[in-house]
Amino acid sequence: MKFKILPSDTLLPHFTIQEDELGKRMANFQKFQNTIQDFTFYTSSSVVYSSKIEGVEIELDSYLKYKLLGIKFLVNYTKKADDLFEAYSFARSRILNEKNILEAHKLITKNFLKASERGRWRVSPMFVMGGERTLYVATNPEQVKGELVNFFADLSLLLRTELSTRETFFYASLLHLIFLNIHPLNDGNGRTARLLEKWFLASKLGDKAWQIPSEKYYYQHKNEYYHNLQRIGFEYETMDYNKALPFVSMLVACV
């Protein structure tokens, strides 16, 4: 395939998981039996762990009691996870495209961004900070629009193309990575990128992909997750995607 922004297919041959092995692992994920309850259970796990990666203080046990048993907690305890849950629910019944990603972002950021900043691409510089030092310098604001045009062209191509399960996992993770590196939003980039990854998997593999515990795996390997991002480069202009394989390989490790 000829991509506009994704690294060329030269990385794919080094993605060592075999199709048969991945097929066996995916066979462990059954079709939802009680669709609403099953989706609620698995998505609760996804949103809790994706939130925890960003420092939100919430526990899965408490959130499951809240979602499945109706036990009441303080609104401040659940609201950010609730917003992310709403975004996952929205994604489940929508086509993966630019418009719907921005709509999902409006939901994700309902309780931590002003309304004027939700569901729109950034127009200002962006840095990722760790303590008192800069960990990453994202795309220049004047480049964001052009990079996103290329990103969504590649996404559209992938959605139109028949992919093997192995290729689906590879490109889902690569989309996650490229979106994070563009860092096109004023906040909520990580949560949106992890949702995009899961959304792409479900678009290709069906509803059972919502069960894949990627967010939990990333949280449990949070240091590795960030280390694998940082090894690719500290500035968007100097990204070396030849070093992307460790990050791209994390998704298949969770199944």
Provide mean pLDDT across the span 105-122: 97
116-138 pLDDT, tens digit per residue, is: 999 999 999 998 877 778 889 99
For all residues of the chain together, what is the average pLDDT?
A: 94
Pull the structure tokens for residue 176: 């996650």
Long-range (24+ apart) CB contacts under 8 A made by 153-160 are 153/4, 153/5, 154/3, 154/4, 154/5, 154/6, 155/96, 155/97, 155/200, 156/97, 157/1, 157/3, 158/1, 158/200, 159/96, 159/200, 159/203, 159/204
Query: Is the pLDDT confidence value at 43 over 80?
Result: yes
Provide mean pLDDT across the span 160-173: 97
66-91 pLDDT, tens digit per residue, is: 999 999 999 899 999 999 999 999 99
Query: Is the pLDDT confidence value at 143 over 90?
Result: yes
Q: Which residues pair with 128 in a beta bridge?
A: 136
Q: What is the four-CA torsion angle of 31, 44, 91, 102, rounded to 10 degrees?
A: -160
What percent of the chain stands above pLDDT 70?
Answer: 99
Region of poorest pLDDT, from 125-129, 182-186, 232-236: 125-129
206-219 pLDDT, tens digit per residue, is: 999 999 999 999 99
Query: Is the pLDDT confidence value at 166 over 90?
Result: yes
Pull the structure tokens for residue 73: 């907690």
**Model pTM score:** 0.95
Query: Is the pLDDT confidence value at 167 over 90?
Result: yes
What pLDDT, on a 0 to 100 scale, did the predictor assign at position 168? 97
Provide mean pLDDT across the span 180-206: 98
Q: Which residues contact 115 (CB under 8 A, 6 or more apart)?
A: none
Q: Which CATH architecture has domain 12-27+34-253?
A: Orthogonal Bundle (1.10)
The CA distance from 151 to 103, in Å, is 17
Q: Give the pLDDT band of residue 33 (cuts 50, 70, 90).
A: low
Region of poorest pLDDT, from 10-24, 50-64, 85-99, 101-115: 10-24
What pLDDT, on a 0 to 100 scale, did the predictor assign at position 10? 82
What percent of the chain stands above pLDDT 90?
Answer: 84
Query: Is the pLDDT confidence value at 34 over 80?
Result: no
What pLDDT, on a 0 to 100 scale, did the predictor assign at position 32? 66
